[in-house]
C-alpha cells in the first residue's frame, strides 16, 4: 500500500515547534535535532530524507533549489522539497498542514514546492 501522506524531515533552520505542531495534527515529522544530524550539510540532509522516504522542509531556498536541479538532471528520486519563507511557527504549520492535506506522498515525489 502506498503512503497517503508525505512524512516530513525538517532542516535545522526550521523551528522545532513546527515538528511538534505538525505531529499534533496527525502527520509524521522528524527534525535534524531528533536524529542527531545538526550541522550536516544540505546534500547529506536531503540524502537522509531520501533514505527515509521523507520530504524535506527548509527555509534555505538557494541551496535546495540547486539540489533539486542536480537531482533532476542526474535522474535521482527524492520525496519532495518544500521551501518555506520565514514565518511564525503557527503560520508555517497552517501552510504545511494545508499542503499535506492536498499532497499525497506520490504527488510529492521529485517536486519542489514553495509555501
**pLDDT tens by residue, the chain, 115 residues:** 346 678 999 999 999 999 999 999 999 999 999 999 999 999 999 999 999 999 999 999 999 999 999 999 999 999 999 999 999 999 999 999 999 998 888 999 999 999 9
Range of the domain at 72: 8-114
Number of domains in the chain: 1
Q: CB within 8 A of 77, min separation 6: which ones? A: 50, 71, 109, 110
The Cα–Cα gap between 45 and 7 comes to: 15
The answer to whether residue 17 sits within a structural domain is: yes
Give the CATH number of the domain where residue 42 resides: 3.40.50
Q: What angle do the packed helices 61-74 and 42-51 form, to 10 degrees?
A: 60
Kindly report whether the global pTM for this prediction surpasses the value 0.85.
yes
The answer to whether residue 3 sits within a structural domain is: no
Amino acid at each position: 500500500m502506498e503512503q497517503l501522506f508525505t512524512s516530513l524531515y525538517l532542516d535545522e533552520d526550521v523551528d522545532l515547534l513546527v515538528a511538534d505542531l505538525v505531529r499534533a495534527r496527525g502527520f509524521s515529522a522528524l527534525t535534524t535535532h531528533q536524529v542527531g544530524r545538526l550541522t550536516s550539510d544540505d546534500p547529506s540532509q536531503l540524502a537522509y530524507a531520501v533514505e527515509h522516504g521523507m520530504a524535506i522542509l527548509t527555509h534555505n531556498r538557494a541551496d535546495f533549489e540547486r539540489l533539486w536541479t542536480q537531482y533532476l538532471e542526474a535522474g535521482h528520486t527524492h520525496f519532495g522539497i518544500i521551501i518555506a519563507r520565514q514565518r511564525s511557527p503557527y503560520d508555517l504549520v497552517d501552510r504545511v498542514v494545508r499542503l499535506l492535506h492536498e499532497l499525497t506522498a506520490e504527488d510529492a515525489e521529485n517536486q519542489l514546492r514553495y509555501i
